[in-house]
Structure 1
């Protein structure tokens, strides 16, 4: 027991023996620790988006684990605790898990899968961190490319290309109404649609090629930085997740540059502290002025911006990240990996495959939510599709073909669907009725009129039954009866 607790005489495989350059090994070790910090910070931005730091015990523990991981990113135990809590929270949120949180869960599962793979391979629980990163990083990069593939593929529909309905137009109008920077002519609105498609197509293409990878990262950084300021949502949580995942595409030169800035900041802090500790009138005046200036800034920011986390914390974090990244681009790095997507074993492709199938769900007739189709104007329900390339015949499941139109209901949400001319997939309609138990609802299901009355319904009524597992996994958005699909999540 003592040996197990102290780690003495335990098989700890040193991956350094397989690396030609010790310098490259230690640079990769630094990269691993910085990624752990960035991944934990992305989680904090996620919780900040809806003030979720202390909503429940899980979020409190997730916040605490993120902070402890940042404090000691070299700890494998802290990483495993953190990602396990994140996976648990994503599973708890199902089926309404946000898209970036779904990707985060897939990334975390990939890390755990890679860890288990190395345990079996090395016959030890003590896994080298550099080897662990070398195993999971290529798989996570595949998942990022899959995310971008579907982000652009889902938008290839008539609704997104329609200036009257397109989410690209709505985003620009909302952002401009808040910041009032760009003109809103019809030409510019139409241009923004195709500009969005072009940028989202270029990013993964540039990331896949070694020579253009850094330009792809830079383009993505600017794109997601701008997107984070849209008042429609707190997109900085999505952007922070993407920043952390971009980091895996970078060479160790970027990691070294981050560490260099960190070291210089610590040294300057120490020098400044020593100077200010020497009491004199100048230092006293500087100290007093600094406090008053900081309070004045806080007062200005409090009055100017309601969302301080977006305009202060996110701005400071993202701009610092981009500046250091741009500076790292100026230095050529011969240690950049050549096989960015090389995987250790074919069994490790399971999570990237599931990530792909999740994005394919709308075209298979499965769920339309949490399938990376956010704000895409995609419509695939009711035997009709607005996609320009994927025909409705690809739907091998019938969930989306079973459609309900609400006539009237005592339930406010269902009545709103009726008033606004919106339809629901029967699967989603049943879930809502089962959860909220409306006193009465009259609806048309595939053209046939029915009425549900709670007081007369038996426990085995079709609207009060269903599979817990399927209800937990699948979720469908409402859609328009007539016209193009509106801009919704």
Structure 2
């Protein structure tokens, strides 16, 4: 019997007794797809305004398609077509969002690009005469996933080698530590603050080594799981999308014996639910959890009235992550411990292209030092400063710019846009590229600013027409607000 005979719904007194007798074979891609679907859902949940139409119909339609395809992938994890549809729609949404500040969305886009490219090349290789080889896709994209994790951890260390991240009064590591330590009265403990800073370097360094030390991969894997499970619970920022992405990439990266065991556990859990409810049973725990989380948060709003909409949404999803992420962490930790030490399984030599996408991504993350973008370079929560020809990085006396964007720092004096004036009053400066983009989006707006000691009065899209950034610049370059204060406080 084949898995396709499982009915979609099976509510009622008659339960399925033959689900476990269906023909299943190990499929590494099937072990991965539920995690990828959940990562997509957490990512969309973090951009709730796109779901409710605030950003326009294109965003809304694509966002809901991502949700729908993610749910379908949870129901049908072996359907290659659904996975590729989710990947394609996610890439379309990413393209619509460009320029994108989010690091996790950029990593996701690179991974989605690898999945789509792998499937396309394998399809063309057969001349379209055979189904896409899922085993080959899995073998290829797991190389990309491991490389992306290594790059993420490398820059997670490299960008933080700066004076302000090492300063316990402003370090972003302390920003994460404080809400976790506050219930114990340890938020001001200097030892705890310094421990948070240096533990970040240690954990990420171990994670890099363990990614390629397959026999003892579990050491870094378990440390990373705990770390990425905890940080969203701190509520310091919306970390659920990032942590769920990391979990999914790890599922691709773990050695094959561990992947097989994870597949078996997942299949057993899915079959138990399918016996009770049919195929839709795999969604039942999530639906129950979502209802429970919403109910708890709504009750809490009675005790703590007038919460913001964003706070309510964030609280609901923290509760969801606490359970979903916790279960995933426990299962993956169990799998890792069962495979410690892990037998090494030889894999076929991957095609050269699997190193191209991670290589390009690695180079793009050097952007802050080259005078290019200061967002989406794995420099989130790093306290890094590279603008205006100066840097707090300990390995550079000044950033080795190859491009001039970050030299064009301006101070807003006045504007038709109140938020720009407020940002300036808060002590922030702007990269001129960002001002030009905003004027282009709103041609009737004007800005008076100071650049290199000279005041430019009531600049508009018309007066700067000859200097407007090209389409490629607008889509690929995005810059943070500039903060010259020292020590530099933590921002995203």
Short-chain TM bin: 0.7 to 0.9
1:327 to 334, 338, 363: 334
Residue 98 of structure 2 corresponds to which residue in structure 1? 94
Closer/same/farther in 2, CA of residues 453 and 120 from structure 1, 3 Å limit: closer
CA positional deviation for 1:232: 2.5
Closer/same/farther in 2, CA of residues 415 and 58 from structure 1, 3 Å limit: same
Residue 315 of structure 1 corresponds to which residue in structure 2? 322
Residue 76 of structure 2 corresponds to which residue in structure 1? 72
Greater CA drift, 374-383 or 249-258: 249-258
CA contact 2:443–2:462 (8 Å) conserved in 1: no
- After superposition, the CA RMSD in angstroms is 2.9
CA positional deviation for 1:237: 1.0
CA positional deviation for 1:312: 3.1
Residue 40 of structure 1 corresponds to which residue in structure 2? 37
CA distance in 2, matches of 1:309, 1:221: 21
Greater CA drift, 469-478 or 64-73: 64-73
1:153-174 CA-to-partner distances (Å, cap 9, x unmatched) read 1111111112232111222224
User: Residues 427-466 of structure 1 correspond to what in structure 2 (within 5 A)?
Assistant: 427-437=433-443, 439-452=445-458, 454=460, 458=462, 461-462=465-466, 465-466=468-469
CA distance in 2, matches of 1:374, 1:140: 20
Greater CA drift, 197-206 or 116-125: 116-125
CA contact 2:175–2:236 (8 Å) conserved in 1: no
Q: How many residues align?
A: 438
2:201 to 197, 202, 217: 197
User: Residues 49-198 of structure 1 correspond to what in structure 2 (within 5 A)?
Assistant: 49-51=46-48, 52-53=50-51, 55=53, 56-124=60-128, 126-177=131-182, 179=183, 182-198=186-202
Closer/same/farther in 2, CA of residues 183 and 167 from structure 1, 3 Å limit: closer
CA distance in 1, matches of 2:445, 2:147: 48
CA positional deviation for 1:243: 0.4
Greater CA drift, 52-61 or 373-382: 52-61
CA positional deviation for 1:183: 4.1
CA distance in 1, matches of 2:376, 2:449: 27
CA distance in 2, matches of 1:330, 1:442: 61
CA contact 1:441–1:451 (8 Å) conserved in 2: yes
CA positional deviation for 1:263: 5.2
Gaps of 5+ in 1: 1-24, 274-293
- Is residue 2:405 matched to residue 1:408? no
CA distance in 2, matches of 1:54, 1:426: 32
Q: Secondary structure at 1:228's aligned position in 2?
A: helix
- Is residue 2:471 matched to residue 1:474? no
1:353-395 CA-to-partner distances (Å, cap 9, x unmatched) read 1111121111111100111111111111111011111453521
CA distance in 1, matches of 2:483, 2:294: 45
Greater CA drift, 295-304 or 379-388: 295-304
Residue 11 of structure 2 corresponds to which residue in structure 1? none
CA contact 2:216–2:342 (8 Å) conserved in 1: no
User: Residues 237-386 of structure 1 correspond to what in structure 2 (within 5 A)?
Assistant: 237-262=241-266, 264-265=268-269, 300=296, 302-304=298-300, 306=312, 307-332=314-339, 336-338=343-345, 344-386=350-392
CA distance in 1, matches of 2:477, 2:165: 24
TM-score scaled by length of structure 2: 0.81
TM-score scaled by length of structure 1: 0.81
Greater CA drift, 389-398 or 200-209: 389-398
Closer/same/farther in 2, CA of residues 65 and 154 from structure 1, 3 Å limit: same
Closer/same/farther in 2, CA of residues 443 and 268 from structure 1, 3 Å limit: closer
CA contact 1:159–1:166 (8 Å) conserved in 2: yes
CA contact 2:386–2:392 (8 Å) conserved in 1: yes
Closer/same/farther in 2, CA of residues 486 and 96 from structure 1, 3 Å limit: farther
1:405-426 CA-to-partner distances (Å, cap 9, x unmatched) read 2223332222123212222221
CA positional deviation for 1:314: 1.3
Residue 223 of structure 1 corresponds to which residue in structure 2? 227
Q: Secondary structure at 1:406's aligned position in 2?
A: strand
CA contact 1:383–1:400 (8 Å) conserved in 2: yes
CA contact 1:399–1:427 (8 Å) conserved in 2: yes
Closer/same/farther in 2, CA of residues 235 and 251 from structure 1, 3 Å limit: same
CA positional deviation for 1:130: 0.5
Residue 392 of structure 1 corresponds to which residue in structure 2? 398
Residue 287 of structure 2 corresponds to which residue in structure 1? none
Closer/same/farther in 2, CA of residues 186 and 264 from structure 1, 3 Å limit: same
Q: Secondary structure at 1:80's aligned position in 2?
A: helix
CA contact 1:110–1:140 (8 Å) conserved in 2: no
CA positional deviation for 1:85: 0.6
Residue 15 of structure 2 corresponds to which residue in structure 1? none
CA contact 2:146–2:253 (8 Å) conserved in 1: yes
Which protein is bigger by CA-based radius of gyration? 1
